[in-house]
């Protein structure tokens, strides 16, 4: 993870780099640092904690200069200390910022120590600084030194490098971690994510794997590919409004993003529906032909995106009649899968840069899948560029580490896939009903979000708890998993999601008055089964919190049951709707507990390391 930003500009870059770091803080926030070229010398500050600490430090001791690199860290090698924070220097001859992991750093470190280099950090990154210094000492240009050095690195990296030997130059390199070039007017920038640079440009070049880039005074940009050939890469206009990266009137990004859901669900559907189906062309011009060949689907994702895939398995089987396999990317990539003819490989990812998901896609390419589809929120991300087909979820930038609107728009995309790839299991009438229901969904979501005050009150019952169980059945089992993930990641309360029918096979032993049990109970075919499972909880003294359809007949006359009623929705779309109150519940519990809602401890938004 970690975030990188760099600039070679006509003006002082400290403010540009600092603003960039603030926008990249979702990628890591345990320490931060900046190096700026001042009078042909490297000047640096590094601080522990959030970017605000670096901001304070710079307010007291500014770093003026027209070229610089900066970094916000998510620790992999070595604790979050100032010495481990980036940029790393080698004898003030080289400064480097790095996102990724250098897997062969121990061997390189031994060689460099034997050659007399002293290490001042526990990081893998410091070997890059010393290797660069070593190569520069032999007379290489900075560009050549980076090109030479990266050939010796194993693992993943996005780099920003500078040296007082070439004061108006910054070199970037990427392999396995994201890096974009921001194209300014007579200025040039680097960042892990375009969002970091929207304050200075809306034109971006997405570097390819193995690319090196040289940024020079006057906005000159030279890109060389992994074979050493100078290449032209297309310049893309960035689509999002810059305001998407601010909290507006909301207290936290997460709350803003929860409340954006009606709008982004509408955007995700825009222009993609027919009368009784979804338009296959929305997935790309080759999609109709590829979907016609598709007999099975393999879904791959991590975390919340994986939960979206679990919901989609129910949909694809029930409505499309397509067999589905699903697995987390970190496991799939090390298996030896047997691929049935006509299997479409589908990845789900908010960021499109998740290391395991990307590796799974690359691994899958040699396995004989009929094609690959990425369902993703970030246009131009690695996953999108490397897949045959792509559908953008159009959620807009999601800054809160806990995924909310990215999940629900993934569900919309997956329902569109279900409708587009269908093999006739659902009748045209059934499909038309789903299409009609999708169109009314933004309004129904607004009605659910209006329950925010009630959910905030409900949250008080959780603030002192240490554990919680989430239950659901059918397509609501993954909703329960997602509810539990949300609660644990932002409130640090231990939570588990279970299929309600599985409770009696073990977890029921945990139920007592200290274990709140949250269940989603839409009025579907499994409702009566679920109600029996909930009785089992009550009989053991458990306290129940149920999100249910009006008229499901759950007796809430006793103190041990609280029911919050949701508006009616088409059965197929209930998993999406029932996710919303669980997001709000986790949010309010976290606020009551006083945790860092948008940047929970130990986590980062974009997981670009394995
Ligand atoms: C969810 O709240 C997470 N923070 C996390 O599980 C996330 O969904 C996962 O890391 C996958 O990310 P991606 O969608 O960007 O690939």
Architecture of domain 247-441: 3-Layer(aba) Sandwich (3.40)
Structure confidence by residue, pLDDT tens digits, 9-20: 999 999 999 999
The whole-number pLDDT of residue 240 equals 63
pLDDT value of position 541:
84
State the Cα–Cα distance between residues 574 and 568, nearest whole angstrom: 9
Nearest CA residue ID for atom 10, ligand 1: 303
Interhelix angle 574-593/428-449, nearest 10 degrees: 20
Q: How far apart are CA 516 and CA 529, in angstroms?
A: 20
Q: How far is CA 513 from CA 69, 235, 305, 411, 491, in A?
A: 54, 59, 32, 34, 20
Conformation bin of residue 233: beta by default, left when phi > 0, alpha when psi is -120 to 50: beta
Nearest Cα to 535, choosing from 549, 514, 553?
A: 553
The response to whether residue 178 sits with its C-beta less than 6 Å from ligand 1 reads no
Please count the other Cβ atoms lying within 10 Å of the Cβ belonging to residue 235.
12
pLDDT > 80? residue 378: yes
CB of 304 closer than 6 A to ligand 1? yes
Tell me the CA–centroid distance for residue 303 and ligand 1, in Å: 5
Which atom of ligand 1 is nearest the CA belonging to 403? 2
More confident residue, 25 or 96: 96
Specify the pLDDT at position 241: 59
Q: Are 46 and 10 in contact (CB under 8 A)?
A: no
Catalytic residue, chosen from 66, 109, 256, 605, is: 605
Q: How far is the CA of 597 from the centre of ligand 1 (A)?
A: 15
**What is the Cα–Cα distance from 264 to 268, expressed in whole angstroms?**
6
What is the pLDDT, as a whole number, of residue 530? 86
Integer Cα distance of 374 and 347 in angstroms: 5
Q: How far, in Å, are 408, 420, 449, 471, 499 from residue 411 at the CA level?
A: 5, 14, 18, 20, 19
pLDDT band at 76 (very low <50, low <70, confident <90, very high): confident
Q: Which of 303, 308, 604 to probe ligand 1 with, by most ligand atoms within 8 A of CB?
A: 303
What pLDDT shows up at residue 244?
64
d(CA 353, ligand 1 centre) in Å:
10
Q: Is the dihedral of CA 507, 511, 517, 521 positive or negative?
A: positive
For 399-412, letters b (16+ CB in 10 Å) and e give: bbbbbbbbbbbbbb
Q: Is 305 in the pocket of ligand 1 (CB under 6 A)?
A: yes
Are the CB atoms for 344 and 296 separated by under 8 Å? yes
Residue 529: pLDDT band with limits 50, 70, 90: confident
pLDDT, tens only, 428-479: 999 999 999 999 999 999 999 999 999 999 999 998 999 999 999 999 999 9
Q: Give Cβ neighbours of residue 280 (< 8 Å, ≥ 6 apart).
A: 287, 288, 291, 420, 421
Q: With a 6 A CB cut-off, is 351 part of the ligand 1 pocket?
A: yes
* Average pLDDT of the segment spanning 306-332: 97
Catalytic, 302? Answer no
In the chain, what are the domain boundaries?
3-242, 247-441, 451-597
pLDDT band at 262 (very low <50, low <70, confident <90, very high): very high
pLDDT of residue 242: 55
Maximum Cα interatomic distance, the chain, rounded to a whole number of Å: 82
Name the nearest CA neighbour of 224 among 235, 234, 211. 211
Query: Are β-strands 94-102 and 155-162 bridged in parallel, bridged antiparallel, or unpaired?
Result: antiparallel
Asked if 39 is an active-site residue, the reply is no
User: Distance between CA 610 and CA 608 in Å, rounded?
Assistant: 7
d(CA 132, CA 114): 16
369 SS3 class: coil
Q: Strands 88-90 and 94-102, how do they pair?
A: antiparallel
Contact 300, 332 (CB under 8 A): yes
Return mean pLDDT, the chain: 94
* pLDDT score at 258: 98
Average pLDDT for 248-277: 94
| Distance from the alpha carbon of residue 304 to the mean position of ligand 1, in angstroms | 5
Asked if pLDDT for residue 558 goes beyond 90, the answer is no
Around Cβ 335, how many Cβ atoms within 10 Å?
A: 10
* Per-residue pLDDT tens over the stretch 155-194: 999 999 999 999 999 999 999 889 999 999 999 999 999 9
- Give the distance (Å) from ligand 1 centre to CA of residue 485: 10
Rg (CA), the chain: 25
Note the CATH architecture for domain 3-242.
4-Layer Sandwich (3.60)
- 547/570 Cα distance (integer angstroms): 16
Q: Is residue 460 within 8 Å of 592, Cβ to Cβ?
A: yes
pLDDT value at 608 more than 90: no
pLDDT at 569 over 80: yes
- Percentage of residues in the chain having pLDDT higher than 70: 99
Ligand 1 atom 5 nearest Cα: 303
Q: State whether the beta carbon of 1 lies less than 6 angstroms from ligand 1.
A: no
Q: Which strands form 371-376's sheet, in the order they lie side by side?
A: 324-328, 296-301, 343-349, 371-376, 389-392
pLDDT the model gives residue 412 = 98
**DSSP structure string for 227-293:** TS-EE----EE--S-GGGGS-TTSSSHHHHHHHTHHHHHHHHHTT-B-SSSB-GGGG-TTHHHHHHH
Helix-strand-coil percent breakdown of the chain, rounded to 5? 40, 25, 35
Closest ligand 1 atom, residue 302 Cα: 11
What pLDDT sits at residue 113?
96
Indicate if 451-597 has the same CATH topology as 3-242: no
Reported as a pLDDT band with limits 50, 70 and 90, residue 26 is confident
Pick the residue whose CA is nearest to atom 8 on ligand 1: 304
Whole-number pLDDT of residue 609:
77
Ligand 1 nearest atom to the CA of residue 606, by list position: 15
Question: How many other CB atoms are there within 10 angstroms of residue 98's CB atom?
Answer: 29
382 C-beta closer than 6 A to ligand 1? no
Calculate ∠ Cα 501-503-505, nearest 5°: 100
CB 403 within 8 A of CB 603: no
**451-597 CATH, one of 3.40.50.2300, 3.30.70.1140, 3.40.50.10490, 2.40.110.10:** 3.40.50.10490
Smallest Cα–Cα separation from 204: which of 217, 218, 221, 228?
221
Task: Determine the Cα–Cα distance for residues 459 and 448; give it in Å rounded to an integer.
Answer: 16
Strands 296-301 and 324-328: parallel
The pair phi, psi for residue 456, each rounded to 5°, is: -60, -40
Which pLDDT band holds residue 243 (cuts at 50, 70, 90)? Answer: low
**Collapsed DSSP state (helix, strand, coil) of residue 528:** helix
What pLDDT score was predicted for residue 276?
87
Average pLDDT (83-108) is: 95
pLDDT per position as a tens digit, 285-300: 999 999 999 999 999 9
At how many degrees (to 10) do helices 142-150 and 126-137 cross? 130
The pLDDT assigned to 604 comes to: 82
């Amino acid at each position: 993870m970690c975030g990188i930003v760099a600039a070679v500009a006509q003006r002082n870059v400290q403010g540009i780099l600092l603003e960039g770091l603030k926008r990249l803080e979702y990628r890591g926030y345990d320490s931060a640092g900046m190096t700026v070229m001042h009078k042909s010398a490297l000047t640096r500050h590094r601080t522990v904690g959030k970017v605000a600490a670096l901001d304070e430090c710079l307010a007291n001791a500014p770093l003026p200069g027209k070229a610089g690199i900066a970094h916000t860290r998510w620790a992999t090698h070595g604790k979050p200390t100032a010495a481990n924070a980036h940029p790393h220097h080698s004898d003030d001859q080289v400064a480097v910022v790095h996102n990724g992991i250098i897997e062969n750093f121990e061997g390189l470190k031994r060689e460099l120590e034997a050659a007399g280099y002293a290490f001042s950090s526990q990081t893998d990154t410091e070997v890059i600084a010393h290797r660069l210094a070593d190569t520069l000492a032999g007379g290489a240009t900075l560009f050549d030194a980076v090109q030479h050095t990266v050939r010796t690195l194993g693992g993943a990296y996005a780099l920003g490098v500078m040296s007082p030997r070439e004061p108006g130059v910054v070199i970037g390199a990427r392999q396995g971690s994201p890096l974009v070039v921001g194209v300014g007017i007579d200025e040039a920038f680097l960042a892990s994510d375009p969002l970091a640079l929207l304050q200075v440009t809306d034109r971006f070049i997405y570097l390819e794997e193995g690319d090196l880039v040289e940024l020079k005074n006057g906005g000159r940009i030279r890109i060389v590919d992994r074979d050493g050939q100078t290449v032209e890469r297309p310049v893309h206009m960035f689509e999002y409004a810059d305001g998407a990266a601010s909290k507006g009137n909301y207290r936290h990004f997460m709350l803003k993003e929860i409340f954006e859901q009606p709008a982004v669900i509408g955007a995700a559907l825009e222009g993609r529906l027919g009368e009784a189906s979804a338009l296959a062309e929305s997935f790309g011009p080759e999609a109709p032909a590829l979907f016609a060949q598709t007999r099975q689907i393999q879904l791959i994702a991590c975390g919340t995106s994986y939960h979206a895939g679990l919901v989609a398995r129910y949909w694809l089987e029930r409505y499309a009649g397509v067999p589905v396999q699903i697995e987390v990317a970190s496991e799939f990539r090390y298996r030896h899968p047997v691929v049935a003819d006509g299997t479409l490989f589908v990845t789900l990812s908010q960021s499109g840069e998740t290391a395991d998901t990307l590796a799974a896609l690359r691994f899958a390419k040699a396995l004989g899948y009929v094609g690959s589809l990425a369902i993703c929120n970030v246009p131009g991300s690695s996953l999108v560029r490397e897949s045959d087909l792509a559908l953008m979820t159009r959620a807009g930038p999601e800054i809160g580490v806990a995924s909310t609107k990215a999940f629900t728009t993934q569900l919309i995309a997956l329902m569109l896939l279900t409708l587009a790839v269908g093999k006739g299991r659902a009748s045209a009438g059934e499909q038309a009903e789903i299409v009609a229901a999708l169109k009314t969904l933004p309004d129904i979501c607004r009605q659910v979000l209006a329950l925010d005050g009630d959910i905030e009150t409900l949250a008080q019952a959780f603030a002192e708890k240490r554990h919680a169980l989430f239950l659901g059945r059918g397509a609501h089992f993954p909703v329960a998993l997602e509810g539990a993930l949300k609660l644990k990641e932002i409130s640090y309360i231990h939570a588990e999601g279970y299929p309600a029918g599985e409770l009696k096979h073990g977890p029921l032993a945990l139920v007592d008055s200290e274990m709140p049990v949250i269940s989603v109970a839409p009025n579907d075919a499994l409702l009566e089964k679920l109600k029996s499972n909930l009785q089992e909880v009550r009989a053991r003294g458990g306290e129940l919190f149920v999100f249910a359809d009006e008229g499901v007949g759950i007796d809430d006359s006793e103190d041990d049951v609280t029911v919050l009623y949701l508006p009616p929705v088409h059965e197929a779309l209930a998993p999406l709707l029932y996710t919303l109150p669980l997001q709000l519940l986790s949010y309010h519990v976290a606020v009551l507990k006083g945790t860092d809602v948008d940047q929970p401890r130990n986590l980062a938004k974009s997981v670009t390391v394995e």
